[in-house]
Amino acid sequence: MKKYVVAGLAALACTGGAWAQSSVTAFGFLELQAGRQTQDKPGTKLFDMGGSRLGFKGTEDLGDGLKASFYLEHRLNPDDGTVGGGATFWKGGSWVGLSSDAAGSLKLGRWWSQAFLKSQFASDPFGMGTLGEGTYGTVGCGPAFRGGCLGAFWVNNAISYEHSVGGFSFGAQVSAETVGSGDKKRPANVGLSYGAGPVFVGLGHEVSNDGDSDSRWTSFAATYDLEVAKLYFGYGSGQDAAKVKRKNLIGGFTIPLGLHELIGSVDLQDQGGTRVEQLVSLGYKYHLSKRTNVFAVVANDSKAPAGTNKTGYALGMFHAF
């Protein structure tokens, strides 16, 4: 009897596939590096700054240009196998949505801030810490900025809309629930970018990520690809719930040399009128394949507090799947 039940289920699955074209993809990467980070306590350790991850995403064609999709992305610490990012299992995103080429996409659930996607991420030649010394300054946080992030990487309970036309891409996002204490505002953000040929520019604005009406963060990013080198620029400005001002400025480059790549950046952060970070980083990457590379990075932060590393370094490996 069991074999007939199994055969029937298999036939049903095949029949369903005939009228609904769908696909599910597993993806992710693992990155580990040995060294020490600036503004961290002294000592060498094994760490992951790129955010090693395992994800699943899928799309179903509903016909007439309409598609249904889902996304789940887990973060992990490959050095010891624990969950990355605290207790949030699907830290990189967990949403379900509908999309069409003509109308854009609507996503319900945890997803990247549109200000981050359209602006902040593009400003850092190190890929927001992929080589180990990023401090996420254009997101308004990091080891230098104190008191939590002003910008958001992800927003929980989010309703997200994205649409692209030509070289322009627009996104808007709001949380369906209030957060924090006191006046309890809903986090909200918008992002707009334009990319064509060698030029990319992006702009983002966020409010009330901690639930406070005085908290806000605005960011700008621009890159220009000269082919022999790619130039990066980013700027962020805002204030926290106590109306303490924060500013960030980053500039950098990548130079491709066949399988080799040179990367450099200068990252400056000010909080309350005081320079809290002055980080100079230089990296080297060797591409073993399109999915695998090994790298080295050295960095110096002249504003690192007493008792922490002013100089950092790392040797590591990255593999995507």
Which percentage of the chain shows pLDDT scores above 90? 75
More confident residue, 130 or 75: 75
Least confident of 48-52, 106-110, 284-288, 294-298: 48-52
Q: Are 161 and 174 in contact (CB under 8 A)?
A: no
**Whole-number mean pLDDT of the chain?**
89
User: What pLDDT score was predicted for residue 18?
Assistant: 40
CATH code, residues 28-320: 2.40.160.10
pLDDT of residue 145: 80
C-beta of residue 124 within 8 angstroms of C-beta of residue 88: no
Look at residue 135 in the predicted model and tell me its pLDDT: 61
pLDDT more than 70, % of the chain: 91
d(CA 137, CA 187): 19
The tens digit of pLDDT for each residue in 131-157 reads 545 567 788 887 778 778 899 999 999
Smallest CA-to-CA distance from 152 within 122, 202, 187, 176 is with: 187
Kindly list the domain boundaries of the chain, sorted by start residue. Answer: 28-320
> Is residue 121 a contact partner of residue 100, using CB atoms and an 8 Å limit?
no
**For the chain, how far is it from start to end, CA to CA, in angstroms?**
40
SS (H, E, C) the chain: CHHHHHHHHHHHHHHHHHHCCEEEEEEEEEEEEEEECCCCCCCCEEECCCCCEEEEEEEEEEECCEEEEEEEEEEEECCCCEECCCCCCCCCEEEEEEEECCCEEEEEEEEECHHHHHCHHHHCCCCCCCCCCCCCHHHCCCCCCCCCCCCCCEEEEEEEEEEEECCEEEEEEEECCCCCCCCCCCCEEEEEEEEECCEEEEEEEEECCCCCCCCEEEEEEEEEECCCCEEEEEEEEEECCCCCEEEEEEEEEEEEECCEEEEEEEEEEEECCEEEEEEEEEEEEEECCCCEEEEEEEEEECCCCCCCCCEEEEEEEEEEC
pTM of the entire predicted model: 0.89
Q: For residue 62, what pLDDT is reported?
A: 95
- For residue range 18-41, list pLDDT tens digits in order: 445 578 999 999 999 999 988 888
CA dist 140 and 87 (Å) reads: 22
pLDDT computed for residue 181 by the predictor: 80
